[in-house]
Structure 1
Amino acid sequence: MKINWGTGLVIGMVLFISFILFFVIKISTQNKYDFDLVTEDYYQKELVFQKEMDDQTNSHTLKSKVKGKRTAEGWLITFPEEVDYSKVSGTVLMYRPSNKKLDFKMPLKLSSSTLLIPDEKLVGGRWNTIVHWSIDGEDYLFKDEIIY
C-alpha cells in the first residue's frame, strides 16, 4: 500500500498532537510537577501592598541600610549601626519561589546587630529574603533576592 503526501501529513499531525497531549496530561496529573501560584494568599497580599511600600520607604530614610551577605556559616543579615538592636522586633521570611515546601519564617530577636540564617536551612538556588522589622513603633521592610 502506498501512502500519498496528504495521508502522511495527516498521520504526522496526529502523532504531533498526540505527543503534546501526552505531556500535558502527564504534567497535570503528577504531583512532582507543581504549578501553584507564587503564594497561596496572593490577593490578600495585594491589599497590603501600600503598607509594604511605606515600610520600604522608611528603610531608605536610615543612614545605612540592612545588608545581607553569604558567609561560610550561612546567610548573614546586618542591621544598621544607628539602630538599637535590643529594641528590634519582627520576622524574617525566607521564601523559595520554586518550592513552597522549603519556605520558612523565623522571629527576629537580635542579640547583636547581625542575624545568621544557618547554612543547613538553605538549599542551593534562588531565595527571597523578606525582613519585616520595627523599632519604636516605626515599621521597616528589607527585601533581597539571593542565589545561594
Structure 2
Amino acid sequence: MNWGTKIFLILAVFMLCIVAAGFYMVTQDTDSLEEDDYYEQGLNYDQAYEKKQNVLSMKETPTVELRKDTLYIHFVSKVNKGKLLFRKPSDSKLDRELPFQTTGNVLALPISTFDKGMWNLYVDWKSEGKDFLFEEHILF
C-alpha cells in the first residue's frame, strides 16, 4: 500500500466520523439548554441576584432535609408564601412548579411521585415584605 492510498483512507475515515457525528447531533431530541426562556431570565437576573443577596444578608437561608418519601424545608420566618420550582436537568418535561404558603417554620412535601435522580430546587418566596430566592441541588 503506497502513501497516497493511506492518505485517502485516513481522509475517508475522518469524513465518515464527521458525517456520523453530524447525523447523531441532528437526530437528538433534547436540547442542551436547561431553560427555554434563558434570554428573558438573563434580562431579569438583577431581580434574582437581589433575592439571593436578601437570603445571605438577612440570614434567611432555609435548610432542606430529605427523610424517606418527604422533603422538609425549614424556614427561619414563620409566615412564608411563594413557589417551589423543581427542575430535572436530564428531562425538562418532568419540571414542576408548586405554590406554597406556610404558617409555621416547616414545609413538608411528599416526593413519592417524583422520579429518582438529580433535581435542582429553587425556592422563591416572600416573607416580612422581602423577596428571597434559594437554590439547592437534591438527589432523590
Q: TM-score scaled by structure 1? A: 0.81
Aligned length: 140
- Cα distance in 2 between the residues matched to 1:63 and 1:26: 48
Greater share of strand: 2
Pick from 126, 130, 134: which aligns with 1:134? 126
**Unaligned segments of structure 1, at least 5 residues:** none
- In the other structure, the counterpart of 1:84 is 78
Report deviation, 1:6.
2.2
Which shifted more, 58-67 or 136-145? 58-67
- Cα distance in 2 between the residues matched to 1:58 and 1:137: 11
Q: List structure 1 runs of 4+ shifted beyond 3 angstroms.
A: 61-64
- In the other structure, the counterpart of 2:36 is 40
- CA-based RMSD of the aligned residues comes to 2.0
CA shift in 2, pair 1:18/1:47, >3 Å: same
Report deviation, 1:36.
4.0
SS at match of 1:56: helix
Report deviation, 1:113.
2.1
CA shift in 2, pair 1:77/1:12, >3 Å: same
CA shift in 2, pair 1:63/1:16, >3 Å: closer
**Unaligned segments of structure 2, at least 5 residues:** none
- In the other structure, the counterpart of 2:47 is 51
Task: Assess if the C-alpha contact under 8 Å between 2:119 and 2:137 holds in 1.
Answer: yes
- Cα distance in 2 between the residues matched to 1:63 and 1:97: 28
- In the other structure, the counterpart of 1:106 is 98
SS at match of 2:99: strand
- In the other structure, the counterpart of 2:22 is 24
